[in-house]
């Protein structure tokens, strides 16, 4: 068994121009967040949950995104609002021990991961990544 | 009782197996005892019940459904 992938998954092709996050959309189907779209203006990342395997199918599309009626813009909702206008720094992909690509991370305005997106029960769930030190600081402030 | 649309969505193609227990589905799909154990108290309940609970937001039910879907380990790629 090798420790690294032979063919690592790069969500965003390498280029000179930054991938600046313009909008974020989601499509909810029967209560499940089936799709997420990260709109970079001139291109977008289409994230789809395969309901049969709870894994992700991710497509980079090198063209403008035109949302369908079923897509909701979630720009103003947490946590996305804080990253609009920021550059998507790096992305990380993770295959679980069963071999499925079921999670990935993204960073905005830096290369420290900010958000983890995980596929479960046919839905993409969004987790915020927060350093332990920050959590401890917040807890201390609340305790005062 | 037929599955709700939300539970069907949660299960995907496994909706056809909804009347079987979670443990049965995990085993039939190639999962081992460790996989069954990770489904917790859902192992002896039907997959349909787990799906309904998952659709209602139950985190342990979501996990059980996911383990059932991914019981068949993909080939060694790495």
Q: Which of A1, A95, A120 sits opposite B62 (nearest CB)?
A: A120
Residue B77 has a pLDDT of: 39
Q: Which of A5, A96, A121 sits opposite B62 (nearest CB)?
A: A121
Instruction: Determine the distance in angstroms separating the CA of A121 from the nearest CA of chain B, rounded to an integer.
Output: 5
pTM: 0.90
Does B70 sit within 8 Å of A98, measured CB to CB?
A: yes
Residue A143 has a pLDDT of: 84
Q: How many CB atoms lie within 10 A of CB A43?
A: 18
Which residues of chain A does B55 touch, with a Cβ-Cβ cutoff of 8 Å? Answer: 30-31, 121
Place of tokens 């909810």: A28
Per-residue 3-state assignment (H helix, E strand, C coil) for B11-32: HHHHHHHCCCEHHHHHHHCCCC
Return the percentage of chain A with pLDDT > 90, whole number: 81
pLDDT band at A9, cuts 50/70/90?
low
- pLDDT over 60 (residue A136): yes
Instruction: Establish if B1 touches chain A: CB-CB under 8 angstroms.
Output: no
Q: Is the dihedral of CA B32, B43, B45, A118 positive or negative?
A: negative
B39-76 confidence digits (pLDDT tens): 999 999 999 999 999 999 999 999 999 999 999 887 54
**Mean pLDDT across B17-35:** 95
Residue A135 has a pLDDT of: 87
Domain boundaries, chain A: 23-143
Of the candidates A39, A119, A107, A110, the one whose C-alpha atom is nearest the C-alpha of residue A72 is A39
Residue A3 has a pLDDT of: 46
**Mean pLDDT across A71-95:** 95
A47-73 confidence digits (pLDDT tens): 999 999 999 999 999 999 999 989 999
Q: Is the dihedral of CA B17, B21, B22, B27 positive or negative?
A: negative
Residue A11 has a pLDDT of: 87
Which residues of chain A does B54 touch, with a Cβ-Cβ cutoff of 8 Å? Answer: 121
Could you please report the per-residue DSSP string of A52-95?
Answer: TTTEEEEEEE-S-----TT-EE-TTSTTGGGGTTSBEEEEEEEE
The backbone torsions φ and ψ at residue A74, rounded to the nearest 5 degrees and listed phi first, read -120, 30
Does B10 sit within 8 Å of A121, measured CB to CB?
A: yes
pLDDT band at A28, cuts 50/70/90?
very high
Which residues of chain B does A51 touch, with a Cβ-Cβ cutoff of 8 Å? Answer: 9-13
Q: Which of A2, A51, A54 sits opposite B70 (nearest CB)?
A: A54
């Amino acid at each position: 068994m090798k420790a690294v992938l032979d063919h690592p998954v790069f969500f965003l092709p390498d280029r000179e121009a930054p991938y600046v996050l313009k909008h974020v959309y989601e499509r909810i189907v029967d209560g499940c967040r089936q799709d997420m779209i990260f709109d970079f203006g001139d291109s977008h990342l289409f994230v789809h949950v395969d309901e049969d395997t709870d894994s992700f199918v991710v497509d980079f599309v090198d063209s403008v995104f035109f949302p369908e009626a079923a897509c909701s813009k979630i720009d103003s909702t947490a946590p996305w609002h804080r990253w609009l206008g920021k550059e998507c720094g790096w992305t990380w992909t993770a295959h679980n021990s069963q071999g499925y690509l079921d999670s990935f991370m993204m960073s905005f305005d830096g290369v420290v991961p900010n958000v983890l997106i995980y596929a479960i029960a046919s839905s993409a769930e969004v987790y915020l990544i927060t350093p332990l030190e920050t959590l401890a600081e917040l807890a201390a402030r609340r305790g005062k | 009782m037929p599955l709700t649309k939300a539970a069907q969505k949660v299960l995907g193609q496994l909706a056809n197996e909804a009347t079987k227990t979670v443990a049965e589905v995990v085993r039939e799909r190639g999962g081992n005892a460790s996989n069954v154990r990770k489904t917790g108290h859902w192992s002896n309940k039907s997959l349909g019940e787990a799906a309904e609970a998952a659709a209602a937001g139950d985190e342990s039910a979501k996990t059980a459904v996911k383990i059932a879907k991914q019981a068949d380990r993909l080939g060694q790629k790495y």
